[in-house]
Structure 1
Amino acid sequence: MGEAAMKVEDKMWIVSKVFQSIPLYFAHWEDASFPKEELDERYKELIAQAAAADTERQFSLQMIEFMAKLNNGHTNFSPKPSLYGAPIGVYALPFRGEWIVRDSSIEGLVPGDKVERVEGKTPDQWYCDLRRYIHPSNPESNKRQLFRALNLILPETFVLEAENREGQKKEWTLLRKQPSPSGAADGDRGTTGRVIGAEAGTRAGAGYIRIPSFGNPEFENRAMELVKEYADMERLIIDVRGNGGGSTPSKLTRALMNKPYRWYAEMTPHNVGIHTLQAAKGWANQYYDSYVLMRRPYQESDGGAYGGRVIILTDRGTGSAAEDFVLPFKDNGRAAVIGQSTFGSTGQPFYYEFANGMSFRISTKRAYFPDGSPFEGVGIAPDLAITPTREDLYENRDPVLAAALEID
């Protein structure tokens, strides 16, 4: 799990490339945990730490922690995939002050069960310990990343304690292992669709389209096919809960948008050498930072867009390109948005991958709602807020989808 040593020159190259890229591309200094003026000092500290790191694991954790201090959901350092090791087999989310299992491959541990401890610590204690490794958007979205961060830390064999529906507590000693080929993740299965609540030969009911990711172009293409297939339905329900993004689905947006629409207002760094020089010399009344603010005009809809009711389902796992998809529908009222607020981060990041498999990305833009109000760290609020309960998970109920079927 990443215990190999690293050459000093490799560590210095990675640290230096990251340092060089931050002033050029980073668009979120107002959120960072330190001001831009301190970047040189932080760089020197990081060099010293990196030089002292004995293993790839130590170095990677240092880089992850450093990038997390920039406090942006699209700015982070990624170690070699092997550093994460085999999956731990459980994913839990904070529900009303408790950590509730959402997905599990562990026998006897089911969605709805409450995680009490992992390796002797409560999830809240783990979150306090690992918060420094999480690149954030907002507190609720950050906590969703805890059980992924645990993949970096937990040993190959670990102990998990949980409470079931009847209040009984159980303990497992678990060996981390790779899933079987049949245990594909939701995002690997691609876009799916079905008709809900329609009688034969009628258009009543809804076409339901579940898009787990926009990371694969085929997912958007399949959604487009389903929009055409369900074109006669009176409503379409587009489910992007847990969709962490990928590439902005502009084609799908146009296929569903039957009225003028607009995108984010965006701000990106404008690097001017003379301004940087003047600021470094301490000259008064000169620009240290300059940015370009871009506002896009309304776009006209396509003539062949779907004309029925559109409802979009979201949660705190809806992020990045999935938020790019939701925003214009929320802004112009074309769709009703139901569920939870979205993740709150998009960024068109600059991406760089090193020869050893490590990589980093830096957000190149700060997004705002079209009216100029804050988006980063806030997210897109639903028109109708619904949070599933622990009992919903046990009963395999989906109150968000149920509400979408009932909304006028």
Structure 2
Amino acid sequence: MAKSHVAALVLALAAAGAMAQQQPAMQWETAALAGSYKENISEDEKIAGLSKLWSEVKYNFVDTATLEKLDWDKLYLEALPRVRATRSTEDYYRVLQELVAKLKDGHTGVYPPQELSDRMLGIPLLKTRPIDGRVIVTEVLDPGLRAKGIMPGLEVTAVDGMEVKAYAARELAPYVSASTPQDEELRTFGYLFLRGPVGTAPRVAFRDAAGKQFEQQLPRVSLEVRKAAMANSPSFEFSMLPGDVAYVSLNSFNDNSAAEAWLAAFDEIAKSSALVIDVRRNGGGNSDVGYKILSTLDDKAFLTSRWATRDYKPTWRAWNKEQPMYAEAPEAVQPDPQRQYKKPVLVLTSAGTYSAAEDFVVAFDSMQRGTLVGEATGGSTGQPLFIKLPGGGSARICTKQDTYPDGRAFVGVGVQPQHIVKQTVEGVRAGRDEVLEAALATLQPK
């Protein structure tokens, strides 16, 4: 072959390779499967949405052992007639929520269209929490409810004439996506408790410390009204406690404000004799925010979580070859060269410590920099993949598996504190923070 022909062939092959590498990414989300809201979307849209959800979970959900155990294809077939039988978009989304809840993953779930928010997500102006096997009022957001005798410390015993746990099992639990028992319990009897249509008012039975029982109707309000009634909780709170103990509550990692506030206050924090970091109410956000804070607690580099995701290769499937996982080693985060806190550190945790906040706790625990005090974390982190669904709703699917740097599991289990302390009903009624009290007691000279 002439040299000119060889050169042309080489160039052609190189160009073909470049084109193969530069092919545009597939358009994963299209308008065809994300139609606008209607009171009752068509049966075709419902089945298409179910099929899309089933397929995206099948190929992207990171916990393949759960898919196999559940027989995800069988669940899809069982859901088809239920989807066809729905007579409204609201009912359709309840079927999807119930299906996905079977995966038992807090970073996987179905979210109805915004138009259904008032019908599905109304909630009274109070907060509850499961404590000692009971449902306890922990905060009352409406002065009108307080005037009716509803106070923190009351036990909820029944809803609309049904024993409280039976009510939750029927009305809430089937739709709750949660990774651990403590996660499910907090969602069912805390975040989502008494959820229902805005404007309705469930009849709730209470019992006080003396055993006296009474009932009140609690009007459900929209999420916007509830949010406006709640005290604004900043991402960072700092105070000095007796004994020159610095108390820092990191309430959110949704943006960089917690890390920025930490760095701004660092010189004052550094004057303390010990430090208590509270992440009990931190539902997560961006893990890097917490890592910036941890970098000021040790002059050595620390490791973040180890992670993996599925690496699906169609040709390997054709060869009956086992599909691999793509894994990355933990990242080493370097210490802050300007700021270092050298004194004792305690971190407070609860089932409400979630997602990026758990990544923070895992890294802190691995650093062996101090003690974890409180209750096991929620046991759920990872990277969700968001997809659109017909009627204007959406879903998210956990695509990332995280572990301790040494491979120990915490997803599906929760990070376990070295010093387990639980809030009691008596503590709530007395206005005491028993977890913080226990943490401070460990700092006292023995």
Measured against the shorter chain, the TM-score band is 0.7 to 0.9
Task: State the shift of 1:330 in Å.
Answer: 0.8
One of 290, 309, 318 as aligned partner of 1:268:
309
Matched, 1:313 2:348: yes
Deviates more, 1:367-376 or 1:82-91: 82-91
One of 339, 346, 353 as aligned partner of 2:381:
346
Matched, 1:158 2:202: yes
Pair 331,377 (structure 1): closer, same or farther in 2 beyond 3 Å: same
- The code of the aligned residue for 2:286 comes to S
Write out aligned runs for 1:60-79 (5 A).
60-79=93-112
Matched, 1:124 2:159: no
- Tell me how far apart the structure 2 counterparts of residues 145 and 33 of structure 1 sit (CA, whole Å): 26
Write out aligned runs for 1:322-333 (5 A).
322-333=357-368
The secondary structure found in structure 2 opposite 1:157 is coil
The secondary structure found in structure 2 opposite 1:208 is strand
Give the aligned partner of residue 99 of structure 1.
Answer: 135
- Tell me how far apart the structure 2 counterparts of residues 192 and 356 of structure 1 sit (CA, whole Å): 41
Task: State the shift of 1:143 in Å.
Answer: 0.8
Pair 224,354 (structure 1): closer, same or farther in 2 beyond 3 Å: farther
**What percentage of aligned pairs have identical amino acids?**
26
One of 65, 68, 73 as aligned partner of 1:40:
73
- Tell me how far apart the structure 1 counterparts of residues 95 and 272 of structure 2 sit (CA, whole Å): 53
Write out aligned runs for 1:103-252 (5 A).
103-105=139-141, 106-107=145-146, 108-129=149-170, 130-147=172-189, 148-153=191-196, 156-178=200-222, 179=225, 183-185=229-231, 187=233, 189-197=234-242, 205-248=244-287, 249=289, 250-252=291-293
Task: State the shift of 1:356 in Å.
Answer: 4.8
Write out aligned runs for 1:7-86 (5 A).
7-32=42-67, 34-35=69-70, 38-81=71-114, 82=117, 83-86=119-122
One of 328, 332, 335 as aligned partner of 1:301:
335
- The code of the aligned residue for 1:91 comes to K
The answer for unaligned runs of 5 or more in structure 1 is: 199-204, 280-285
Q: Between Structure 1 and Structure 2, how many residues are aligned?
A: 391
Pair 210,84 (structure 1): closer, same or farther in 2 beyond 3 Å: farther
CA RMSD of aligned residues (A): 2.5
Q: Is the 8 Å Cα contact of residues 197 and 220 (structure 2) preserved in structure 1?
A: no
Task: State the shift of 1:174 in Å.
Answer: 2.2
- Tell me how far apart the structure 1 counterparts of residues 275 and 209 of structure 2 sit (CA, whole Å): 35
Q: Is the 8 Å Cα contact of residues 125 and 226 (structure 2) preserved in structure 1?
A: no
CA deviation profile, 1:35-79 (whole Å, cap 9, x unmatched): 4xx333433433433233211210111111111111212111111
- Tell me how far apart the structure 1 counterparts of residues 151 and 388 of structure 2 sit (CA, whole Å): 37
Task: State the shift of 1:316 in Å.
Answer: 0.8
- The code of the aligned residue for 1:123 comes to V
Pair 358,221 (structure 1): closer, same or farther in 2 beyond 3 Å: farther
- Tell me how far apart the structure 1 counterparts of residues 52 and 232 of structure 2 sit (CA, whole Å): 35
- Tell me how far apart the structure 2 counterparts of residues 151 and 8 of structure 1 sit (CA, whole Å): 31
Pair 232,30 (structure 1): closer, same or farther in 2 beyond 3 Å: same
Pair 169,53 (structure 1): closer, same or farther in 2 beyond 3 Å: same
Q: Is the 8 Å Cα contact of residues 31 and 72 (structure 1) preserved in structure 2?
A: no
Matched, 1:277 2:311: no
- Tell me how far apart the structure 2 counterparts of residues 234 and 84 of structure 1 sit (CA, whole Å): 49
- Tell me how far apart the structure 2 counterparts of residues 31 and 92 of structure 1 sit (CA, whole Å): 31
The answer for unaligned runs of 5 or more in structure 2 is: 1-36
Give the aligned partner of residue 337 of structure 1.
Answer: 372
- Tell me how far apart the structure 1 counterparts of residues 73 and 68 of structure 2 sit (CA, whole Å): 14
Give the aligned partner of residue 441 of structure 2.
Answer: 406
Q: Is the 8 Å Cα contact of residues 158 and 167 (structure 2) preserved in structure 1?
A: no
Larger relative helix fraction: 2
Q: Is the 8 Å Cα contact of residues 127 and 140 (structure 2) preserved in structure 1?
A: yes
The secondary structure found in structure 1 opposite 2:302 is coil
Pair 276,46 (structure 1): closer, same or farther in 2 beyond 3 Å: farther
Q: Is the 8 Å Cα contact of residues 156 and 205 (structure 2) preserved in structure 1?
A: yes
Q: Is the 8 Å Cα contact of residues 262 and 296 (structure 1) preserved in structure 2?
A: yes
Q: Is the 8 Å Cα contact of residues 194 and 202 (structure 2) preserved in structure 1?
A: no
The secondary structure found in structure 1 opposite 2:410 is coil
Deviates more, 1:53-62 or 1:350-359: 350-359
Deviates more, 1:350-359 or 1:95-104: 350-359
Q: Is the 8 Å Cα contact of residues 258 and 306 (structure 1) preserved in structure 2?
A: yes
- Tell me how far apart the structure 1 counterparts of residues 333 and 258 of structure 2 sit (CA, whole Å): 24
Q: Is the 8 Å Cα contact of residues 127 and 143 (structure 1) preserved in structure 2?
A: no
- Tell me how far apart the structure 2 counterparts of residues 140 and 237 of structure 1 sit (CA, whole Å): 23
Give the aligned partner of residue 290 of structure 1.
Answer: 324
Give the aligned partner of residue 405 of structure 2.
Answer: 370
Pair 182,350 (structure 1): closer, same or farther in 2 beyond 3 Å: closer
- The code of the aligned residue for 2:324 comes to S
